[in-house]
């Protein structure tokens, strides 16, 4: 179906080699890079994506020396012996017809270790270590390390390297006056500040020869104060082209930027316009990036002339066969990345191996294998939320005969609620994926059917998987029952299904769902995740041709309601949210003037509102005069089928929220369900 995605699937001729299409698998640190013992896993991880048709894979970052480490003993490529250990990776990718480049990542002041170096001795806001300012000789040593790393990559069989020059890392730190306060030949004027990348790329080209890909990742929109101006971006791009780069890839936002750049609330292809601005300024191919997660979006971006290639990292974690499916007319079977960050980036920041919420095999390809079942069985899966869907589809994919029961009239469970939250529209894609899998695999799905124990026993199944999920916890606040009847107290389920909510609202419980409901209520039904101009205004993203780094004052629309978000713990609200996304939710609610209060007791509810007190001594009683109180106090497992089925001698498995409701989350539910399904 090349006709359907003619731009995306067109080969890219680089002269000495040809990439089979315009998909670049963007660099994504998985943690597997950090120890050679993980390399066999890395081999399979990349080989699967190469078999899936990716044009050019870029590895996670490897440091060119220990000063450039991400963290102590992080992955680096500095010796011939290390290069030899990479051979199986490059061989496997080549055997699958792919191309692969090694990313050279020097973290500079972002290094999480005491050996970190930088242009100037200025600590970053996101790391505890103050870097050492390099001498001129020290800078020379760093350049030589980059060049040697590239030569070793060539020796290891890579088709090229990506020089990481963006996201606020070492090279970027030289470029921006924000972090480069030097007064020698490496600081001051822009010509001096950009000397470092120009030297690195130019000398790398000399060392590796003409037939080796050099991708330069150029920060086109820093999103930090005192970032690069657009003239500087263009000047650098031209210089980099002149000294021998093959492709320029786009970098958006430093890691310390306070603007979200890849979270699910960022509109799709939100930054493709930035790359487009550079088109025509250089002749080499440009690659655009960030929140491009379907072949349709990727095709559109290319058709609109924004770039010559698209970079996708997380979408290829979610589905290694993304390209092959698009090419064979099966785009509706793609398991789409929902940009949640929960199993990929959040894991990396917790120093765990990256995986994917919607595809638990990512990063675990050698150990979580969906092999054809040896003994085929009849299996009933009860509940079609994320856990039930993952279980049923993996089981059926392995050859088992699966019947799926769901009390509601549609599949999805809690995802049907999540998709209604502004900024979580992507969750719909997971449901589309599962619905299509059910169709393709011929799973017998009984929607609108509450399976009873008698029915399941009579069905004579070999196994029953209970994935019946959760029910909202009732926090049993005095007077709540009466006010519930008056429509003044609602559960989050009612609210997300559209129950009328007043102007002043108290939310009881500030977990993931409390935050989601607060966003739902202040948004007034308008999601900026599907309105790029509104999103840019809200987060203060502007044209870098007008404002350095693309930062302009944010313009926040007034909140649709006055919201109080409450919890009993005295800890800051939102502490348990995702590591890389929690700050976005907190910042979004602060901008909408949501009042967050911790350490409260819920004394009672009456027609005037919610009565609170503080602390163990129930001090400082106060009344929150609100029209509506929304309960978001967590969940309890729903598993009443378990006991009667066990009593009848059936083999029963519990997965997802039905197993453990506390801290229920889709990542754990899908992972647990898929692992069970791989075993049965």
Which residue ranges make up the site for ligand SF4 (CB under 6 A)? 314, 317-318, 337-344, 356-358
Among residues 64, 168, 578, 637, the one that binds ligand NAP under rule CB under 6 A: 578
Q: Is 509 in the site for ligand NAP (CB under 6 A)?
A: yes
CB of 317: closest distance to ligand SF4 in angstroms? 4
Q: Please identify, using beta-carbon distances, which residue of 297 and 506 lies nearer to ligand NAP.
A: 506
- Confirm if 224 and 177 have CB atoms less than 8 A apart: no
Instruction: Tell me the backbone φ, ψ of residue 97, rounded to 5 degrees.
Output: 80, 15
Which residue's structure tokens are 């017809």?
A: 97
Distances (CA, A) of 362 to 46, 260, 318, 667: 10, 24, 7, 12
509 binds, among ligand SF4, ligand NAP, none (CB under 5 to 8 A by kind): ligand NAP
In the stretch 222-261, what mask flags binding to ligand NAP with x, by CB under 6 A?
----------------------------------------
Binding partner of residue 134 among ligand SF4, ligand NAP, none, CB under 5 to 8 Å per kind?
none
Compute the distance between CA of residue 311 and CA of residue 249 in angstroms, rounded to an integer: 8
Which DSSP string do the residues of 595-649 spell out, in sequence order?
Answer: EEE-SEEEEEEETTEEEEEETTTTEEEEEE--SEEEE---EEE--TTHHHHHHTT
CB of 344 to ligand SF4, least distance (A): 3
CB of 664 to ligand NAP, least distance (A): 5
Q: Which is nearer to ligand SF4, 362 or 391 (CB)?
A: 362
| Closest approach of ligand NAP to the CB of residue 427, in Å | 10
Nearest CB to ligand NAP, comparing residues 65 and 581:
581
Measure CA of the first residue to CA of the last residue in the chain; give whole Å: 36
Site for ligand NAP in 271-310 (CB under 6 A): none
480 binds, among ligand NAP, ligand SF4, none (CB under 5 to 8 A by kind): none
Residue with tokens 């009565």: 611
**Cβ closest to ligand NAP, residue 148 vs residue 420:** 420
Q: Is 339 in the site for ligand NAP (CB under 6 A)?
A: no
In sequence order, which residues have a C-beta less than 8 Å from that of residue 550 and are 6 or more positions away? Answer: 221, 222, 223, 227, 274, 541, 542, 543, 544
User: In angstroms, rounded to a whole number, what is the distance separating the alpha carbons of residues 159 and 150?
Assistant: 10
Q: Tokens at residue 179, please?
A: 């972090």
Pair 145, 68: CB distance under 8 Å: yes
Question: CA angle, corner 436, sides to 432 and 440, nearest 5?
Answer: 170
Alpha helices in 52-185 (DSSP H): 80-95, 136-155, 170-175
Q: 301 or 338, CB closer to ligand SF4?
A: 338
Q: How far is the CB of 343 from ligand SF4 (least distance, A)?
A: 4
Q: Please, which residue, 339 or 664, has the CB nearer to ligand SF4?
A: 339
Pair type for strands 600-606 and 609-614: antiparallel
**169 counts as catalytic:** yes
Q: Which does 220 bind (CB under 5 to 8 A by kind): ligand SF4, ligand NAP, none?
A: none
Tell me which of 5, 45, 158, 169 is the catalytic residue. 169
If the CB atoms of residues 59 and 172 are measured against ligand SF4, the closer one turns out to be: 59
Which of 237, 86, 99 is closest to 153 using CA atoms?
86
Using the contact rule CB under 6 A, the part of the chain among 101-109, 372-380, 494-502, 663-671 near ligand NAP is 663-671
* Position 513 contacts ligand NAP (CB under 6 A): yes
How many angstroms separate the CA atoms of 20 and 10, rounded?
Answer: 7
> Is 512 near ligand NAP (CB under 6 A)?
yes
- Does residue 599 interact with ligand NAP by CB under 6 A? no
Least distance in angstroms from the C-beta of 73 to ligand SF4 = 25
**# chain residues binding ligand NAP, by CB under 6 A:** 23
Handedness of CA 30, 267, 299, 213 (dihedral sign): negative
Which residue among 39, 568, 601, 648 contacts ligand NAP (CB under 6 A)?
568
Span near ligand NAP by CB under 6 A; candidates 12-20, 185-193, 203-211, 574-582: 574-582
What gap in Å lies between CA 191 and CA 461, rounded to an integer? 73
Of residues 238 and 473, the one with the C-beta less far from ligand NAP: 473
Give the count of alpha carbons within 13 A of 584, CB side only: 22
- Token pair 């699958």 is found at 96
Q: Which helix (H) or strand (E) segment is 465 a member of?
A: strand 463-466
How near is the Cβ of 339 to ligand SF4 at its closest, in Å? 5
- For residues 474 and 602, give the distance between their C-alpha atoms in angstroms, rounded to a whole number: 13
Q: Which of residues 8-67 bind ligand NAP (CB under 6 A)?
A: none
Which residues belong to the active site? 169
Q: Contact residues for ligand NAP (CB under 6 A)?
A: 473, 475, 508-514, 516, 567-569, 576-578, 632-635, 663-665
């Amino acid at each position: 179906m090349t006709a359907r995605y003619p731009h995306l699937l067109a080969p890219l001729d680089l002269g000495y080699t040809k990439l089979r299409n315009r998909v670049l698998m963007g660099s994504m640190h998985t943690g597997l890079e950090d120890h050679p013992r993980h390399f066999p896993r890395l081999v399979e991880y990349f080989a699967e994506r190469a078999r899936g048709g990716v044009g050019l894979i870029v590895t996670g970052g490897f440091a060119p020396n220990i000063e450039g480490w991400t963290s102590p003993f992080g992955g680096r490529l500095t010796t011939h012996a290390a290069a030899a250990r990479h051979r199986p990776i490059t061989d496997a990718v080549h055997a699958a017809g792919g191309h692969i480049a090694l990313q050279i990542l020097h973290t500079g002041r972002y290094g999480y270790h005491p050996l970190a170096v930088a242009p100037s001795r200025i600590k970053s806001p996101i790391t505890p270590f103050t870097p050492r300012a390099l001498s001129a000789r020290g800078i020379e040593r760093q350049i030589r390390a980059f060049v040697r790393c590239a030569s070793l990559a060539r020796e290891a069989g890579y088709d090229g390297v990506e020089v990481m020059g963006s996201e606020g890392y070492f090279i970027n730190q030289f470029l921006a006056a924000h972090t480069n306060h030097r007064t020698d030949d490496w600081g001051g004027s822009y010509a001096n500040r950009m000397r470092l990348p120009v030297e690195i790329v130019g000398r790398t080209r000399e060392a590796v020869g003409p037939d080796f890909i050099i991708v330069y990742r150029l920060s086109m929109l820093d999103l930090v104060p005192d970032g690069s101006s657009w003239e500087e971006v263009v000047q650098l791009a031209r210089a980099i082209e002149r000294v021998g780069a093959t492709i320029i890839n786009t970098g958006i936002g430093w890691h310390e930027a306070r603007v979200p750049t890849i979270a699910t609330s960022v509109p799709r292809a939100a930054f493709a316009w930035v790359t487009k601005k550079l088109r025509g300024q250089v002749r080499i191919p440009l690659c655009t990036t960030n929140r491009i997660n379907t072949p349709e979006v990727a095709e559109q971006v290319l058709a609109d002339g924004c770039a010559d290639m698209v970079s996708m990292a997380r979408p290829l974690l979610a589905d290694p066969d993304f390209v092959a499916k698009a090419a064979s007319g099966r785009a509706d079977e793609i398991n789409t990345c929902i940009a949640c960050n929960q199993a990929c980036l959040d894991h990396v920041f917790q120093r765990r191996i990256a995986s994917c919420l919607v595809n638990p095999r990512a990063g675990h390809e050698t150990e979580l294998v969906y092999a054809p079942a040896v003994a085929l069985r009849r299996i009933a899966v009860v509940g079609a939320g994320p856990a039930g869907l993952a279980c049923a589809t993996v089981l059926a994919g392995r050859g088992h005969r699966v019947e799926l029961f769901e009390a509601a009239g549609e599949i999805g469970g809690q995802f049907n609620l999540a998709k209604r939250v502004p900024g979580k529209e992507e969750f719909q894609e997971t449901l589309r994926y599962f619905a299509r899998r059910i169709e393709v695999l011929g799973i017998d799905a009984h929607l609108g059917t509450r399976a009873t124990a008698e029915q399941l026993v009579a069905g004579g199944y070999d196994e029953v998987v209970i994935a019946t999920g959760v029910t909202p916890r009732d926090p049993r606040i005095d007077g709540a029952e009466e006010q519930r009847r008056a429509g003044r107290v609602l559960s989050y389920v009612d609210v997300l299904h559209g129950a009328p909510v007043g102007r002043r609202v108290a939310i009881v419980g500030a977990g993931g769902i409390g935050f989601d409901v607060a966003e739902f209520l202040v948004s007034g039904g308008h999601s900026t995740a599907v309105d790029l101009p509104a999103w840019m205004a809200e987060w203060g993203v502007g044209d870098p041709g007008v404002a350095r780094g693309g930062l302009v004052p944010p313009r926040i629309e007034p909140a649709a309601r006055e919201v109080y978000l409450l919890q009993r713990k005295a800890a800051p609200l939102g502490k348990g949210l995702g590591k890389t996304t929690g700050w976005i939710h907190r910042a979004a609610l602060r901008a909408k003037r949501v009042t967050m209060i911790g350490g409260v007791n819920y004394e009672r509810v009456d027609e005037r509102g919610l009565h609170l007190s503080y602390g163990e001594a129930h001090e400082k009683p106060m009344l929150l005069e609100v029209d509506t109180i929304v309960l978001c106090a967590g969940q309890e497992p729903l598993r009443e089928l378990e006991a009667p089925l066990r009593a009848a001698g059936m083999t029963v498995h519990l997965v997802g929220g039905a197993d453990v409701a506390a801290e229920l989350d889709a990542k754990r539910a899908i992972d647990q369900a898929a692992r069970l399904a791989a075993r049965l």
